[in-house]
Structure 1
Amino acid sequence: MSGRREHEVGDVDPRNVETTGQIVSPTLVGRDEELQRLLPALARPPAVVVIEGEAGIGKTRLVAELASRPELADRPVLTGGCVHIREPFPLGPVVEALRGGGEHLTAAGLSPVTGALRPLLPELAHLLPAMPESLGDRVGERHRVFRGLAELIGSLGPVVLILEDMHWADEQTVEFLGYLLSDPPAGLCVMFTFRGEEVGPGVRALTARLPASVARVQVALPPFGTAATSELAASALGAERVSEDFASYLCDRASGLPFAIQELLALLRARGTLVRRGSGWARKTIDELDVPIGVRDSVLERVSHLTAAARAAVEAAAVLEVLVPVPALVATCRVSRQEALDGLDEALERGLLLEQSGKVGFRHLLAVQAVYDSIPLSRRQDLHSRAASAVRELNPVPLGQVAHHLRHAGLVQDWVEAAEKAADRAIALGDDSEAVRLLEAVLRHAPLEDGRRSRLAVKLGWASTDARQEVNVVGLLSDALGRELPRAVRGELLFLLAVNLERAADEPERQWQVFAEAVEYLDGQPALAVHAMVGLGLPTTPNVPLAEHVAWLERALEQLPAIDEPALTVFILGKVAMVLTAMGDPRWATLASRMLEQTGGAPAHRREVIAYSSLGMDACYAGHHEMAERLLTAAMRGAAGCDATRMAEIFCRKGLAVLAYSRGTWDGLAEEVAFLVDRLTDRPRYRALVDAIAACLALARGELDAARRQLDDVVDRCLAMGAIDLLPLPMSSYIRLATTQGGGAAVIERAEAACAVWEARGLWPVSVRTVPALVEALVTADRLEEAEELVSRVEQRLRGLDAPLAPAALAQARGLITAGTARWQAAADQLVTAAEAYDRLRCPYEAAQAREQAAGCLFRLGDRRAEDLLQQTLTEYGRLGARWDLDRAALLARRQGVSSPARHRSGPRGYGSTLSPREDEVARLAATGLSNKEIARELFLSAKTVDKHLGAALRKLGLHSRTALAHHLRDGAG
């Protein structure tokens, strides 16, 4: 019932979060299927619609949505609700509904029997006949009222009668509805809602035997899963999306109840735990949240009506929290065995507890917490002690539950021992996040002697490095280091502290210092020492000379013979090669060959996968696209086939996304990036990279305001983290956008500051891609001398280095400078040379930009080659879907009288009825019989993206099945 995670929420409207009294989704979410089932019935009366679901599931919200649909716009919608206190208000919900129907009534046509309704409907007395004489028979009087109500409803014509919370309906209401529905008016639609676990058999029987002419539809609303929760939270917060982890937290905490999800969001906001973080919102780290008051009161009110034995069973279930076998619950109860059994039966019959697969417990966590919070502390501790003993008898023993109960029973030393055993089991099973949770709690809250504290801190450090979620354990590791420790333990803890600092992408100076200190203590642990040396070789620390970084990398390579772990050797080779690639040091290729040879080109261990993906990523940055594709593809396949974690696969997909952007294979890339953004919430360095791709794509699509915000944010984050190798992609787009929007001076200053860092760290081979954009900004600002000096300096720094992007980028930059001096022919030649160099690297977006710039120069000369260059540019921008660039180039074309290629109405890519390359690829794989999931694995896409491409392919080809697609392609028509 506690959590220490931070969950990112993207693009939240602060007005929703900071000023409204409630957090409510403005639109109905997650009930499309139910709407599609219910609306057809309501559109064809007479009909009965039943909506069933537990408290907070969204019955009322669905009813409101149905009532507002245009299909019902021409019909009165009358609504009444049952109340818990039934007497003295029989027929209350029906009367409440009819009170709103006066405007649709006329006095004409009503028979005398409706006069019997005057006492019930004084608001309509002026429209009703005179009160009939008394019959002197209560049953007869009631039947006359029923007749009058039925006639009145029928006189309204087509009408929708909504009666909510029918589980609280009084007997007369149920009886009347049975009467009404036995022969309903032709235009009547009745809609009921109720809680299935509380509704009586009489209400259920109302729809059991309806006339054949009456349509009947019943839906049971299920709790939301993570996807629907994500959509609801995003809608309620005014966000484009929320992260999968945040949605999972909300879903689990609220058990998928939409009402509770929104209440939890409101609680987060009200407590100040929903806070601005970068471009999004996050939840502060807190130990526990209260149950939403509406849910709590509902549960406790029901518990208050139980016998003492049943309350004992319910309290035991709340303390146990999870579903358990009956003997465990009985042993936890503070009553005799027979009383516990009797109480359990009562709680099950009342629907407070449920039985599932031989286990019993609460339906959802909010009910657990409501009851748990109501138990006095001393009784609660005793129940936890009893629960610990009870669950110890289960086979296998749930160690995590044992630890939980011992802690809350106040048995501290027993808790520490149980928690360590549970953490060990979690680690053995690969559940590092659970191990972190257990160990973190012990280290924070238990009094420990130094030896045990250091041992547990080492376990925590290792578990945290492998856990998917980022957990801030820096303070706990630092605290352990403040004690008297053996030399080897100190070295290991220092190493783990540095790794956690690196993972958090925070305090780069401290990270470097801790790695350096760790090396001094790791003389007897060569594997860790070499790993620390690689950390010291990463050129991300300010004020550390580049030569010192390289020296540490060379020391790491010298130590490799002392490593007897092949996978670790490959890891070190890959990491060192990664850094050398970014520096343009040609030795990277030799190390890459060693790595490939040692693994046979197929990584089979998690560390090997990381080595491949790390080197592949920096190879992509530097322009070694073929090597990047080879390494990243192999890493992706290795991640799927070895012991690699799910996060290793995500890292590989991240690298492939960068490669896809660089090579202009953008079809489906936006969806892939959105997928990765959600899964990298707790990895700030890697999240920054996919955010950068998202921002660059937004700019290309012409979403300028969003792109400016995103680019500004991601550039700030990269600079703050020292992630300067990630900076060139977003910085290039940032400069291009600012240059067109008149923000040149400020952005030039910012870019030149980044250039100074790149130069100090020796990273021009990857950063050279920013030079053309910066030169264009300088030329636009009439700062030609500075542009010339920049290019000359970069050329000098790159001399002798392995930098594939340099010839193309520098030729483009030289062409822009030459154009700034109005030497149009020379400028065009340089720009065409740049475009051809980009073509060889398979960088179509940059090539198109260079051709556009060359065409502009040639138009100045009246050179007919300009038209051909511009046509190529327009076609390429259209293929990419780069609407911002396409609009700019199309404007140039119109000014010069050049016809532009027609845009297909379905989108900017310009494929028309022809399959895009990705659609063709997906279609051909589908024709072989592969499922969407299998195709997704083959192409490293999400199944949803595959489904989208396959659907588009079938639609364009006029086909309706995979079988038809197979025949179509086999016959050569595709």
Structure 2
Amino acid sequence: MPPREQGAAVLVGRADELNRLRSAVRRRPALVQLEGEAGVGKSRLVTELVESADVGVLTVLVGHCQHSREPFPLGAVLDALRRARDPLACRGPLNSVTSVLRAAVPELADVLPPLPPELSGPVFDRHLLFRAVREVLVALGPVLLVVEDLHWADDGTRQLLRFLMADPPPELAVLVTYRREDLPWGMPLGGAYRPGPGVGVEILPLEPLGTAEVRVLAGLLLGVDTVSAEFATTLHEQTAGLPFVIEEFLRVNRVAAEGTTARWADRAEVPVLLREAVTERLVGLSPDAGRLVRAAAAFAVPASVEVLGVVAGLAGERLREAVTELLARALLREAANGTVSFRHVLSRRTVYGAMNSIERKELHRRAVRLLAAHEHPPLVQLAEHSRLADLRAEWLCYGEAAADQALAASDATTASTLLRLLLAEPALARADVDRLAVKLGEAAQAGLDATGSASALKRLLVDDRLSAQARGQVRMQLGLLLSRFFHGVAEGRAQLELAVDELGARPDLAAKCMSALAMPCTGDVPQPSLAAWLRKADAEIEQCENQERRLSLIADVLGTLVALGDPAAEDRMSTVTVLGHTPGEQRQIARARCTIADSLTVTGRFHAAREHLWAGVRMAEESGGLYVVSTARSTMTRLDWFTGDWEGLAERAGSLLARYRELSAVAAELELVLGHLALVSGDGETARGHLLRTGVRTPRVAVAQVALGGGAGLIRLALREDDIVLASAEADAGVALLRRKEVWAWSGELLPAAVDAYLAAGRAREAGELVRSAEEGIRGLVAPLAAAALHTCRGALEEHAGGSGADHHAAAARAFDTMGAPYLAALAWERTEAHRLSAGGDDAVAAYTRCAERYHALGATHDAARCRHLLRCLGIVTPSRQGRRGYGERLSPRELEVARLLAAGYTNTKIAETLFLSARTIEHHTSRVLRKLQVASRRDIRAADLR
């Protein structure tokens, strides 16, 4: 016997329903009916209600109806009354009629009156028993009687509830839960029930969770901040948004929230409790309904009743009756477009798994014959049915056609999945293997499921069926895929170098390998050693007759030239603004524009970067370049960081990180942005965690530009914590990578931080040498970020030598303002005004105050607080002509800062450190924040509107 329904351990997305329940049980006498399908969370919601302090001063009695062939008469109510002993012991003498409960509820015997002699026998009148129950409930005063799973109740329990609610105790609220589809008469208390006068009746249908709530619940159950939207969508499809099913599914399969492919759930195990619940519903079906539900299980997608009828061998009245029966039993559900399907995927898999292999194959063969006759046959369905029916020739034909169709429709995920399944067939001919392997590599380049495809391509390289002619192309595609992951960088380069030799007869493909090998961003390979690859690939562009491959070479070569700051790239960038004639050409143009945008971002040309990025993302989405979209989105977050577009940036970056965590290069850039954001907000520990995941400790396999940015952040953090030794060591590591790479166009973030660390450590000579190397390294290059950073470095050196450095810092500030980098400009303006501030004067004070205002406007909480703290330390009071502004019940700017930090989970001590204020001051601010927001505790601030 399956256990009764349970609820998910975490309550998500039920605030409105819980408030309605609380309100309903307060309006006594009341009958509240909570209905919903199995696993939707009825019991969990009831538990939350019972445990909630908002229920009021109530005696709560809970009983459960049991799913058994012969339910115990009145079992749920009598079981609930067992918990009434202690409250009854505190009441006065009970009505003598309650004595008849002595035998029915022995736990109450010592608080009930003695049985009269004439009623001392084992048989007692049912009406007298009903009256006794009512009198006990009257004696208890305010009481909530909960009867769970009423659909399993015996008729006596329903009669007792009808009796109670016909003339209810004035302080009684009855809450029943049930599944409407399992009610014997379709109504909770039977068709004869009518509520008594003055009884409040509330019917509350509980619906499954939406995708957004599933995403929150999955994150909580898996112990992560968030899961990707793709993960949540797949989980919702599998579970239909039923909380208990979600919890059981994740518990049984221990699914990781990140790094999952589109088909991970198809291979996961169906939880035992769910299997048993579905199997229970199958028991007692008519033969026709059983045939139809098994036919539906053979379809992985919703199907029309007519199609299922043909596959099941049913028509006319027999088909209609079978459909009606399955809908009534909630095994199938009807969609608006006339199709039917299982309530959730796991139910379908349970039914499918219960069939024997012979029946399954026969159902799939019938489906193939039926669907193949359509004017526009559904190729993906035909491929799947053919595969499962063991029709090998049809499987190859429909499978490849479906993959081609998916690629043409920019659905790389479906294409990759189909091609991997086809290539796993042992009886494929060599020509088929060659053709399908190359198509798999092409699909993998466009999609996100690189791990599964890379594993398949590795197996093909040692497969005797793959010809030597195709081996080089497959090896090239494998090398390109491996290069997406930190752990695959070295192997990816090795595969590409081997592929160059194997592709001697295909110079266009060999050039693609060369252009990939020439890209300087990955690892610590010195750029001069890659220059030869770049020259060879560049020379091949004009010789390449295939437009798609030619555009691919342009994307690699031009992206590299722009990243290096090579002025020769300026006139060539217009070549990527053309439009492609095929989806493949469109994807390569999109990749070119997004690659150039990334290079422009790294070198500090933010306005141009955004133009290329917007165009590239649009084209990539239209042409199905999912991997291009992923890299473009991470570039967009970094561009938003540089340009001060910080509103919601942490949430955007966190969501993208959950989705793309498996893609090392993308994830590292997102970690860098999150690290910078944590740093400016004063959360050092969070910043350190993110920055250490940028690849800064593993430069040989990291994205060099990202690792340099991570190193700069770690230097700043160490300097903030007055750890000069650590700051100097971090600077040494970053400078070593920079000198090894010899790409000084990427030095814009690292240089100022490294120079500050060296000067703080008394290593002025090394700081000077670094600046001179950078000056020489960027001479003649288009690298505005590095050029502006050099102004800051010269100012720092001048300050260290006893000068002001103000002119250099001002030049840096103007340069950062011009390129649209407000935070970097604010840092430079602060350094510009700090020297003047020490000399005093209203103008200097006003100028330095504007520095704090710049930081505040951006959201750089810690930097703004540092400026204000310095003003206070110097005894400077900012002049105000209008006096202190009154904010009434609105949060002041300072209170808003405190509220946001409280919402982020900061303690008072941590907030005080971040804002350079005393703990006592933060206590006062916290008190005012809670009062103005009208919340009881810090955790409630997260739900408040802090805009």
TM band (smaller chain) = 0.7 to 0.9
- Between the aligned partners of 1:324 and 1:138, the Cα distance in structure 2 is 58
1:619 to 2:600 alignment: yes
Contact residue 738 and residue 747 of structure 2 kept, 8 A: yes
User: How far is 1:310 from its partner?
Assistant: 4.4
2:738 is matched with which residue? 758
What corresponds to 1:883 in structure 2? 861
* Aligned with residue 301 of structure 1, among 280, 285, 299: 280
Query: Which AA in structure 1 matches 2:488?
Result: E
1:842 and 2:827 are equivalent in the alignment = no
Cross-structure match for 1:29: 12
Check conservation: 1:325, 1:360, Cα contact below 8 A: yes
1:125–1:181 CA distance, 2 compared to 1 (3 A): same
**How far, CA to CA, are the matches of 1:512 and 1:472 in structure 2?**
19
Matched residue, 1:630: 611
1:48 is paired with a residue of what secondary structure?
strand
Q: How does 1:548-559 map to 2 (within 5 A)?
A: 548-559=529-540
2 CA distance for matches of 1:362 and 1:27? 26
Shift of the 343–368 alpha-carbon distance from structure 1 to 2, 3 Å rule, reads same
Shift of 1:685: 1.4
Could you say which residue in structure 2 is the equivalent of 1:367?
347
Which of 55, 60, 79 pairs up with 1:96?
79
Contact 1:583 / 1:762 at 8 angstroms: preserved in 2? Answer: no
**3-state SS of 1:727 partner:** helix
Say which is worse superposed, 713-722 or 180-189, in terms of deviation.
713-722
Does residue 318 (structure 1) correspond to residue 303 (structure 2)? The answer is no
DSSP 3-state at the match of 1:96: helix
Cα drift, residue 697 of structure 1: 0.6
Q: Is the 8 A contact 1:254 1:261 kept in 2?
A: yes
What amino acid does structure 2 have at the position aligned with 1:897? G
Deviation readout 1:560-591 (Å, 9 max, x if unpaired): 44456777766654543332222121112222
| 3-state SS, counterpart of residue 756 of structure 1 | helix
Shift of 1:307: 5.0
Tell me what 2:902 maps to. none
| Aligned counterparts of 1:245 and 1:310: Cα–Cα separation in 2 | 35
> 2:682, 2:365 → 1: CA distance?
62
- Hey, what does 1:49 align to over in structure 2? 32
Of 100, 106, 111, the match for 1:122: 106
Aligned-partner Cα distance in 2 for 1:624–1:358:
54
How far is 1:391 from its partner?
4.8
Give the Cα–Cα distance (whole angstroms) in 1 for the partners of residues 620 and 265 of structure 2.
Answer: 34
**CA 1:379–1:132 in 2, change beyond 3 Å: closer, same or farther?**
farther
Name which of structure 1's ranges 375-384 and 472-481 shifts more when overlaid on structure 2.
Answer: 375-384
Q: How does 1:582-621 map onto structure 2 within 5 Å? A: 582-595=563-576, 605-621=586-602
Alpha-carbon displacement from aligned partner over 1:280-335 (angstroms, at most 9, x marks no partner): 99999797222111111122233233455544444443334444334544554599
Query: What is the correspondence of 1:413-492 to structure 2 with a 5 Å cutoff?
Result: 413-482=393-462, 483=464, 489-492=470-473
Q: After TM superposition, give the deviation of residue 60 of structure 1 in Å.
A: 0.6
Mapped partners of 1:570, 1:121: distance in 2: 83
Contact persistence 2:412–2:624 (CA under 8 A): no
1:163 match: secondary structure: strand
For the structure 1 residues 625 and 398, does the alpha-carbon distance in structure 2 shift closer, same or farther, using more than 3 Å as the test? closer
Q: Is the 8 A contact 1:854 1:869 kept in 2?
A: no
Q: Are 1:693 and 2:677 counterparts?
A: no
Give the one of 125, 142, 146 matched to 1:162: 146
1:733–1:542: structure 2 CA closer, same or farther, 3 Å change rule? closer
Please show how residues 2-17 of structure 1 align to structure 2 within 5 Å.
Answer: none
Tell me the distance in 2 between the aligned counterparts of 1:513 and 1:316.
50
Query: Do the aligned partners of 1:362 and 1:368 also contact (CA within 8 Å) in 2?
Result: yes
Cα deviation, residue 618, structure 1: 1.6
2:558 to 565, 568, 577: 577
CA contact (8 A) 1:24 1:236 kept: no
Change (3 A) 1:319 1:547: same
Q: 1:315 to 1:785 in 2, by over 3 A?
A: same
Identity of aligned residues (%): 33
Name the SS for the 2:589 alignment partner: helix
Instruction: Describe the SS at the equivalent of 2:667.
Output: helix
Partner in structure 2 of residue 788 of structure 1: 768
Q: SS of the counterpart of 1:224?
A: coil
Check whether the contact 1:878–1:909 (CA below 8 A) recurs between aligned residues: no
Structure 2 Cα separation of the partners of residues 472 and 193 of structure 1 = 45
Distance 2:95 2:689 in 1: 69
Q: After the TM superposition, which residues 462-861 of structure 1 pair with which residues of structure 2 at under 5 Å, given as runs?
A: 462-482=442-462, 483=464, 489-504=470-485, 506-519=487-500, 528=509, 530-540=511-521, 545-563=526-544, 572-573=553-554, 575-595=556-576, 605-635=586-616, 643=623, 645=625, 651-716=631-696, 719=699, 721-746=701-726, 748-821=728-801, 823=802, 825-858=803-836
Q: Does the 8 Å contact 1:725/1:763 carry over to 2? A: no
Distance 1:558 1:234, change over 3 A: same
Residue 59 (structure 1) shift: 0.9
Aligned match of 1:191: 175
Distance 2:161 2:71 in 1: 19
Report the residue type matching 1:184 in the other structure: P
The 1:212–1:707 alpha-carbon spacing in structure 2 relative to 1, beyond 3 Å, is farther
Tell me, yes or no, if the aligned pair for 1:461 and 1:493 is still in contact at 8 Å. Answer: yes
Say if 1:732 and 1:774, in contact at 8 Å, map to a contact too.
yes
- Matched position secondary structure for 2:145: strand
| Mean Cα deviation higher: 155-164 or 314-323 | 314-323
Long gaps (5+) in structure 2: 1-5, 898-931, 934-947
AA of the residue aligned to 2:268: L
CA contact (8 A) 1:574 1:592 kept: no
Shift of 1:730: 2.7
- 2:42 aligns with 59
The residue that corresponds to 1:150 in the other structure is 134
Cα RMSD (Å) of the superposition? 3.9
Structure 1: which 5+ residue stretches go unaligned? Answer: 1-22, 914-954, 957-974
Shift in alpha-carbon separation, 1:330–1:287, aligned structure 2, 3 A: closer
Q: What is the Cα deviation at residue 705 of structure 1?
A: 1.5
Whether contact under 8 Å (2:526, 2:741) holds in the other structure is: yes
Q: Aligned-pair distance for 1:619?
A: 1.1
**Residues 205 and 24 (structure 1), Cα distance of their counterparts in 2 relative to 1, 3 Å cut:** closer
SS class of match (1:503): coil
- 1:879 shift after superposition: 1.0
Per the TM alignment, residue 414 of structure 1 is displaced from its structure 2 partner at its CA by 4.1
> What TM-score comes out, normalization by structure 2 length?
0.83
Q: Is the 8 A contact 2:98 2:136 kept in 1?
A: yes
What residue in structure 2 maps to residue 5 of structure 1? none
Greater mean deviation of Cα atoms: 794-803 or 359-368: 359-368
TM-score (norm 1): 0.81
CA displacement, residues 666-693 of structure 1 (integer Å, 9 cap, x when unaligned) = 2232233234334434433123212211
What SS is found at the alignment partner of 1:367?
helix
Contact 2:433 2:466 in 1 (8 A): no
Superposition deviation, residue 364 in structure 1: 1.9
What secondary structure, in the 3-state scheme, does the structure 1 residue paired with 2:407 have?
A: helix
Q: Counterparts of 1:596 and 1:451 in 2: how far apart (Å)?
A: 38
Give the secondary structure class of the aligned counterpart of 1:729.
Answer: helix
2:55 corresponds to which residue? 72
Which deviations, in whole Å up to 9, do the C-alpha atoms of 1:788-827 show, x marking residues without a partner? 2222222222222222123331222233334444x1x333
| CA–CA distance in structure 1, aligned partners of residues 704 and 741 of structure 2 | 9
1:40 corresponds to 2:23? yes
C-alpha offsets along residues 375-399 of structure 1, whole Å, 9 cap, x if unaligned? 3445544554455445545664343
Distance 1:556 1:888 in 2: 51
- Matched residue, 2:874: 896
Inter-CA distance 469–763: structure 2 relative to 1 (3 Å threshold): same
SS of the aligned residue for 2:756 comes to helix
For 1:454 and 1:228, the matched residues in 2 are separated by 45
CA contact (8 A) 1:508 1:541 kept: yes
Shift of 1:624: 1.5
